[in-house]
Amino acid sequence: MVKLNKCLLMVLICVLITIPAGAAEKTMMFGSPYGITTWDPSVSYSTELTYMANIYETLIKVNPPGSKELFSYVLATGFTVSDDGKGYTFSLRKGVKFHDGTPFSAEAVKFSLERTKKMGKGAAFIWADLEKIEIIDDYTVKLILKKPVPLPRIAASAYASYIMSPSVGEKGADWFDKGNDAGTGPYTIKSYKSGESWILAKFNDYWGGWEGNHVENILVKYTKEALIQLQMLQSGEAMLVGRIPIDSYSKVKTGKNTKVVYGPSYSNYMAFFNTTRPPLNKAKVRQALAHAMPYDAIIKIGFDGLGTQARGPVPNGQFGSSEKVIQYEYNLEKARKLLAEAGFPDGGFKLTLTHAAENVQEKRFAPLIQSEFKKLGIDVEIQSIVWTSQWAKAKGNPKEAQDIFLLLWWPTYSDPYETLYSLMHNEGDKPVWNLAYYANPAYDNMIRKAYEVTGSDPDKALDLYIQAQNMIQKDVPVAWLVDTVGNWPMNKKLKGLVINPAYPNVPFFYEMTIE
Amino acid sequence: MTLFILKRIAGLLALLLALSVLVFFFSRAIPGDVAALYVGGNAKPEQIEQARLELGLDKPLYTQYLRYMGKLFQGDMGISLRTHRPVLKDLSEKIPMSMELVLLALVLAVLLGIPIGGIAAVWQGTWVDETIKWFSAAAVSIPIFFLALLLQLLFFNFLGWFPLQGRLDSMLEFTHPIELLTGFSFVDSLVTGNLTAFFNVAWHMVLPVAALTLGPLGFIARLTRSTLLDVMTQDYILAARASGISEGVLFFRYGLRNALSPILTVIGLSVALLMLNTFFVEMIFNWPGIGYYALMAITSLDFPAVMGIAFTIGSIYVLANTATDIVRRVVDPRIK
C-alpha cells in the first residue's frame, strides 16, 4: 500500500511538472528553514506552524491589523456570548470534510479541544480557563469558561486550537510523526522525509473549493542555511524561501526575478535589566539605560533598517498596544542626568550582557549598546553564548546572573496577556521568562483583571493594559528595543501572499497564485 | 587468534564504558535546562516541571546514568529533545549518509595513495619523486575546511562543473526520491533502478569526497614511499636481487608485501581522521549526515543525541582500529 502510494505520488508529480505550457503553474518549491518537531496538532508549538496552519483550521481566525473586522470565520460561521462573558456558543460550518473523509461536526470540536487540553502539552495552557464543552446539536457547540477570558482570541490561536478528525482517537505521536494528518485545511501531507523534505498537496474536497488558480502542491525543501535558500531563490529553483542573509535583501528586493514581501510582525526584541542587584536595582539607573539605547542604530545595523522602535511590551498593531504607552527616546543627556541623580555621575560600573550566539541580529546590535554605554562611563562585557546556555544561566540564581539579557519574543496567541504575564509577572525564586526578576503585585493584579474583562468590555481592558504598561515603563525592568518586520523573499511570479502577524512565519498557500 | 580477538573486544567494551561516563557527565555539566528545551515554544513553568518528571530529570545524575545505560543495552538511546524521534532512528538514517562519504574517500585514498607512494619510491630522487613529495606534504597539511571552500570556489564558482552543496538536486528529491533501504543513497538508488538519482548523487559527491580523500591520500602516499624505501634496502632484498629475481617480482612480492603492515595501521587511523573531517565537510557541503546532525544536537543541547553520536562514532573508531589490528596479524604473523 505504501509502495503504491509512492508510485501514485511519483506519477502525480511527473504529471504536475510536465503540465502543458500556457496552463497556470500550480506547483511550487519552498526552501524552508522551518522544521518539524511534531505533526500532532495538539502538541505542536514550534516552527511546524508554517505548515500546520495550511493543513488544519481553527473555528475563527484573527485578521491582519488594519482589516475591517477583527476576526474572520473559518470552521465557525458565527458566535454569541452570554451576559456574564463565560459562555460562547459557536454555530459551525456545514459541508466540511476532514482529510480522512469524516464529516466535520460539533463532536469534532469537542473532541479536539478536549484532547489538546487533556494532553497538556505545547500551548495547551491557553485553555486553562475552559470549564467544559457542550454539544447543542450537530452544528452548534457551547464553550463554557471558568472566568470571562477573551475566548475568541484563544480559539483563533496559532497553536493548540486546531480542530482534528475524531477518528484520530487514541492515535499518538507515532501516527502523526510518520507524516499523517487529520485536518480540514486546504492541504494534506503527501509525503514526509524527516529533516529533509515534504510535500503538501491539495485536498480535493476542501470546503473552500478549488476554483481559480490556487497553488496546489508545495514541495518543501528544508534547509537552515540562509545562503542556500538565497541560492535556491536566485536560481529559480524555489518560488519562496524563508530566510536569506541580512545583507542580501537589497539585492533580492530589486532582482530581475525576485522580490520581497513585507508585513507586520509581533516578534520583538528586548533587553531585561537584572533588578535584583546594584546598580540596576535602582529604577533611575534603568531609566538612564533605556535612554541610552541607540534605537535607530540598532534597527539600521541589526535589521538592515527593517523594523521600528518598540514602544512597550505589546508589539505595534496588536491589541493592547497604544500611543498612550510611554516611549523612551535615545537621549544621552537625559541618561547622564538620571545617572547623576542615581549617584553615578560618571558611570563607573561594569555590566555583563548576554545574547544568543545563534541570533544574527543580536550579534550585530549588541556592540552598539556597548559603545553607547561606554559614553556614559559604563563598561559592558558582551557574552555571546548559545541560547540554551544563555537561558539556563539566567534561570539560575538571579544574584549571580547577567545584568542585561537580550531576548527575542513572540506571543502564542493574539492577546497581550500572555506577553505581559510571562515576561513580567512575579515568578518568585524560579524565574522562567521574567528575566528581569521583577516583582510588582499591583501590576500582576491589573493585567489579570484586564484579561478577564477583555471579552465583555474590551475598552476597559485596553485601558487597564495601558495603565499596566505605563507602570512598567516607569520602573523599566525591561528596555523594549525593536518591533520586527515580517518578510518573505520570493519569485516575482508568486502573488497573493499576505503576512498575518497573528500566525508567525505562515504563508497561507491557498491565497497564493503563480503567474 | 580467538584469544586475541576476545581480548580486543573486552578492551573495546571497557573503552566504550569509559567514553559513556565521560560524555554523559560532561554533556550534563553544560548549563542548559533540558526539560525546558524539550517543551519548546514559550514554555510555561508547569509544563517544564512536567517534562522534567517525564524525562526522569528530577532524579540524581548517577541514577539517570544507570537508567540510560540500562536502556542502551536494550538498544534504546532515548528520544531526541530536538527532533522528538528515537535517537537510534535518527542515527540509523544519518550514519549511512556519512559512511558513504567516508568509505568512498578511504577506498580512493588507498587505491591512489599506495601506487603514488610506490611510484615515488621507484623513481626516488627524480623530479617525479619531488613532485609527489610536495603534493603529499600539501595534501596532509591543508586544513579540511579551507580545502572544501577552495574546491567550491574553483569547481562551482569559476568552472561550474559541480554543484555547490546538497546530496541531490532539490527537484529530484520529489521527482526521483530515493527509497530508504540501507540508507546508502548509492546502493539504494542503484538497487531500486533509480539511475537518475544515482548519477545525481554521484555528481554531488565528487567535491565532498575529494575534500575528504586528499588528506589520507597524502598520508598514505608518504608512508608507502618511506616504508618501501626502507624495505628495499634490507639485506634480503639485496640477496634476492643478487640471485637474479626480476625487479618487478622483487618489488611487488617482497617489497610491497613487507611494507604493508605499517600502511595498514595508517589506514586504520585514516578512518578516525575521516570521521572527524566529515563533520566539517558536511557543514560546508550541507550534506545531511551525522556531522550536520551532531552540530544541531550540540547547539541545541540535545544530550540524548549527543550521547548517541559519541557512542556510535566511538564504536566505529574503536572497531576500525581493532579490525586493522586483526588484519595486520593476518598479513604479518610476527605481530603478537
pLDDT tens readout for residues B245-294: 877 777 777 777 778 778 888 888 888 889 889 999 998 888 888 988 89
Instruction: Answer with the residue of higher pLDDT: A205 or B333.
Output: A205
Whether B247 and chain A come into contact, CB under 8 Å, resolves to no
Using a 10 angstrom Cβ sphere, with 0-12 exposed, 13-18 middle and 19 or more buried, the burial of residue A170 is: exposed
Residue B133 has φ and ψ, to the nearest 5°, of -60, -45
pLDDT at B193: 85
Shortest Cα–Cα distance, A309 to chain B (Å): 23
> What residues of B are in contact with residue A395 (Cβ under 8 Å)?
33, 36
Whether B93 and chain A come into contact, CB under 8 Å, resolves to yes
pLDDT at A1: 42
For B56, other C-beta atoms within 10 Å of its C-beta total 12
| Dist. CA A55–CA A181, nearest whole Å | 8
Nearest Cα residue in chain A from B48: A432
- Do residue A45 and residue B39 have CB atoms under 8 angstroms apart? yes
> What residues of B are in contact with residue A194 (Cβ under 8 Å)?
83, 85, 90, 93
Residue found under cell 507524516: A179
State how beta strands A27-32 and A240-241 pair: parallel
Are A56 and A185 a contacting pair, CB within 8 Å?
yes
Task: Report residues of chain A scoring pLDDT below 50.
Answer: 1-4, 15, 18-23
Shortest Cα–Cα distance, A181 to chain B (Å): 17
What's the DSSP call for residue A19?
Answer: P
Question: Nearest by CB to A125, which of B31, B44, B299?
Answer: B44
Q: What is the pLDDT of residues B115-161, one digit of tens each?
A: 999 889 888 889 999 999 999 999 889 999 899 989 988 998 888 89
Beta bridge partners of A217: A27, A201
- Do residue A391 and residue B32 have CB atoms under 8 angstroms apart? yes
Are A372 and A387 a contacting pair, CB within 8 Å?
no
> What residues of B are in contact with residue A177 (Cβ under 8 Å)?
84-85
Mean pLDDT of B48-63: 86
For A329, other C-beta atoms within 10 Å of its C-beta total 11
- Do residue B84 and residue A409 have CB atoms under 8 angstroms apart? no
Shortest Cα–Cα distance, A173 to chain B (Å): 9
| Dist. CA B90–CA A130, nearest whole Å | 38
Question: Nearest by CB to B174, which of A199, A422, A430?
Answer: A199
Which CA distances in Å does A500 have to A64, A269, A481, B182?
Answer: 5, 19, 22, 43
> What residues of B are in contact with residue A358 (Cβ under 8 Å)?
299
- Do residue A395 and residue B174 have CB atoms under 8 angstroms apart? no
pLDDT at B335: 65
Q: What is the largest CA-CA distance in chain B?
A: 87
Nearest Cα residue in chain B from A121: B47
| Dist. CA A183–CA A203, nearest whole Å | 10
DSSP tally for chain B: helices H, then strands E = 15, 0
Q: What is the pLDDT of residues A13-55, one digit of tens each?
A: 554 554 444 445 899 999 999 999 889 999 998 889 999 999 9
> What residues of A are in contact with residue B33 (Cβ under 8 Å)?
388, 391-392, 395
H-run or E-run covering B91:
helix B87-122
What number of residues does chain A have? 515
> What residues of B are in contact with residue A29 (Cβ under 8 Å)?
170-171, 174
- Is the N-terminal amide bond of B333 cis, ω within 30° of 0? no
Question: Nearest by CB to B41, which of A123, A223, A389?
Answer: A123
| Dist. CA B6–CA A23, nearest whole Å | 69
Nearest Cα residue in chain A from B180: A193
Pull the grid cell for residue A41: 496538532
Instruction: Answer with the residue of higher pLDDT: B332 or A374.
Output: A374
Nearest Cα residue in chain A from B293: A195
Chain A interface test: which of B46, B170, B175 (most A C-beta within 10 Å): B170
State how beta strands A404-409 and A350-356 pair: parallel
Please choose, from the candidates A230, A260, A232, A261, the residue with its C-alpha nearest in 3D space to the C-alpha of residue A243: A230
H-run or E-run covering A379:
strand A379-385
Whether A193 and chain B come into contact, CB under 8 Å, resolves to yes
Question: Nearest by CB to A221, which of B42, B85, B170?
Answer: B170
Which of left, alpha, beta for B78 (phi over 0: left; psi -120 to 50: alpha)? left
Residue B162 has φ and ψ, to the nearest 5°, of -125, 155
Q: What is the pLDDT of residues B206-257, one digit of tens each?
A: 999 999 999 999 999 999 898 888 888 888 888 888 887 877 777 777 777 7
Predicted-complex ipTM score: 0.74
